[in-house]
Amino acid sequence: MVTTQNSDDDHLKEECGVFGVFGHPEAAALVALGLHALQHRGQEAAGIVTYDGEQFHTHRGMGHVSDNFGSKEVIGQLTGHSALGHVRYATTGEVVLRNVQPLFADFEFGGLAICHNGNLTNSYHLRRQLVRRGSLFQSTSDTEVIIHLIATSLKSTVEERLVDALRQVEGAYSLGALSQDGLIGVRDPLGVRPLVLGRLGDAWVISSETCALDIIGGQFVRDIEPGEIVLIDRAGVHSSKPFPRAKQRFCIFEYIYFARPDSIVEGTNVYEVRKRIGAELARESHVPADIVIPVPDSGVPAAIGYAAESGVPFELGIVRSHYVGRTFIEPTEQIRHLGVKLKHNANKASLAGKRVILVDDSIVRGTTSTKIVEMVRNAGAREVHMRISSPPTSHSCFYGIATPERDKLLASRMDIAGMASFIGADSLAFISMDGLYRAMGLPRRDPAAPRFCDACFTGDYPIPLADHDAGKVSVQLSLLAETA
Ligand code: AMP
């Protein structure tokens, strides 16, 4: 989901995880555990809605899952055999609690909770139409657009209304919904974001990633397919595909960075892919060196693959504190800088006098790489060669991964030699697009029909960007100002 941009913040905030359970007496506790395993997908707010056969219960709050759902009292109030939860990245401040998902609304057919992972690319347009027709918005989240589209739909069942709403929506979304009748999971027609179906005994589960099935001892059943709606009720799982068929364009950045390495995404283990990318990187751009070290944690699997392929020893030359969140997910530029220092420390004993190959997953603004290269040099490294397990991030993501605007992306401002000197490395290389596709088990990237969404590297956006093309990126704020 997307929220309004702040003036002091230069990136969109839309990273999320979805987890739902149907048919278990401890549904809320299971969802809290599932969300905990999805915490990497969004660390600033969490929410759970349950249904107990008569009424809905909800608890939502800013902060980590454990901050909000760590107590027996809270979980105890969330009674019912079905539950839906969400973790997200959010801005700070009171107003924003209204945006914490799942959003809940009372319709003529009863209550419905909704949350999603992804980003709608025409929500400004839809919202404007809805406001003109009299919809009163309570939040600035694009998920609420879906709620109003459901409310204004003339169809009769929840599922038909949801389909009606989603037919008007453009964007990437994996959505969870909880009604009196059951739990619903939907993926957008291109299947950009992940969503899987699982089981726990007789109960059914939907989850953004399989690592969250593991935490509750659940079984993976299958990926929910692109354009598929699964409706889970007492009779079981009902599947439909009401949208026009399209070729899948799964987000390749989920494999590179975003998903957890122990997840199986679209049939492929994320850790294995990351190691294969590292091996490709070694084949493409190896330089003589004494040690390969990762930027932990995200660079670790690729560095293992790189070291194995090149024969250069793998060392943990940088130690990461696990008590700070992801660097990127910090509210201001100053804090982001501080975050890098808080997070990483060089292990001088393993670096002094060495020629170092430093492996990380991506360069976005260049903040992390610049700090880390300096840190490794200060620890006595003789040479520092940076190897990146993604192609240069040259374009912003509008489909649900937080990225700065294009002019803040280092790769959109300079070529590789310029980037190398900016970050202070002796050499810099990125995996090639074809190398990345090879790591995914394909011979190369077919420009006529790419298998994945790789827009952040190519600018090839598979879903129209109506709001962006109309200059409406700070969607909700401008609209609120307009209608105030
Ligand atoms: P930067 O410091 O701006 O160049 O960002 C690069 C670092 O942020 C890398 O170490 C990545 O692991 C991490 N990163 C890349 N993309 C994201 C994202 N969308 N959210 C959070 N962290 C990210």
- The ligand 1 atom at the shortest distance from the C-alpha of residue 298 is 12
Task: Quickly state the pLDDT bin for 476 (edges 50, 70, 90).
Answer: very low
Return the higher-pLDDT residue of 370 and 321.
370
Does residue 377 carry a pLDDT above 70?
Answer: yes
Among the ranges given (134-138, 312-316, 468-472), the one the predictor scored with the smallest mean pLDDT: 468-472
Residue 16 falls in the annotated catalytic set: yes
What is the dihedral sign for C-alpha 433, 439, 443, 445? Answer: negative
SS3 state of residue 139 = coil
Does residue 482 carry a pLDDT above 90?
Answer: no
Does residue 310 carry a pLDDT above 90?
Answer: yes
User: With contact defined as beta carbons under 8 Å apart, do 158 and 109 qualify?
Assistant: yes
Ligand 1: residues with CB < 6 A are 257, 295, 298, 326-329, 360-369, 401-403
Mean pLDDT of 257-279: 98
Distance 328 CA to ligand 1 centre (A): 5
Q: Which residues of 109-133 are buried (b: 16+ CB within 10 A; e: fewer)?
A: eebbbbbbbbbbbbbbbbbbebbee
Tokens representing residue 120 in the block: 């709608």
Does residue 345 carry a pLDDT above 80?
Answer: yes
| Residue of minimum CA distance from atom 11 in ligand 1 | 362
| Residue of minimum CA distance from atom 5 in ligand 1 | 364
User: What is the CB neighbour count within 10 angstroms for residue 383?
Assistant: 17
- Ligand 1 pocket, mutate which of 43, 328, 358, 372 (most atoms under 8 A from CB): 328
* Torsion angles phi and psi, residue 249, rounded to 5: -135, 70
- Ligand 1 pocket, mutate which of 362, 373, 397 (most atoms under 8 A from CB): 362
pLDDT at 9: 36
Distance CA 185, CA 175 (A): 6
Among the ranges given (36-45, 59-68, 94-103, 230-239), the one the predictor scored with the smallest mean pLDDT: 94-103
- The ligand 1 atom at the shortest distance from the C-alpha of residue 364 is 4
pLDDT at 334: 67
Distance 341 CA to ligand 1 centre (A): 14
Distance 369 CA to ligand 1 centre (A): 10
Nearest CA to 103 among 143, 149, 43, 55? 143
pLDDT at 98: 82
Distance 298 CA to ligand 1 centre (A): 9
pLDDT tens per residue across span 197-213: 999 999 999 999 999 99
- The ligand 1 atom at the shortest distance from the C-alpha of residue 402 is 19
Mean pLDDT of 380-397: 98
Strand ranges (DSSP E) for 196-341?
196-200, 203-207, 219-223, 229-233, 236-240, 250-251, 264-265, 268-269, 291-294, 318-320
DSSP letters for 144-194: HHHHHHHHH---SSHHHHHHHHHHH--EEEEEEEEESS-EEEEE-TT--S-
Mean pLDDT of 163-176: 97
Distance 218 CA to ligand 1 centre (A): 31
Q: How far is CA 105 from CA 2, 49, 142, 188, 389, in A?
A: 19, 11, 14, 22, 43
CATH topology of domain 13-249: Glutamine Phosphoribosylpyrophosphate, subunit 1, domain 1 (3.60.20)
User: With contact defined as beta carbons under 8 Å apart, do 218 and 420 qualify?
Assistant: no
Residue where the block lists tokens 């009863």: 110
- The ligand 1 atom at the shortest distance from the C-alpha of residue 371 is 2
Return the higher-pLDDT residue of 347 and 99.
347
pLDDT tens per residue across span 10-30: 333 457 999 999 999 999 999
pLDDT tens per residue across span 274-288: 999 999 999 999 999
| Mean per-residue pLDDT over the chain, rounded | 91
Q: Which amino acid is at 19?
A: F
Among the ranges given (66-80, 83-97, 454-468), the one the predictor scored with the smallest mean pLDDT: 83-97
Q: Is the pTM above the cut of 0.85?
A: yes
CATH of domain 270-455: 3.40.50.2020
User: With contact defined as beta carbons under 8 Å apart, do 332 and 266 qualify?
Assistant: no
- Structural domain spans, the chain: 13-249, 270-455
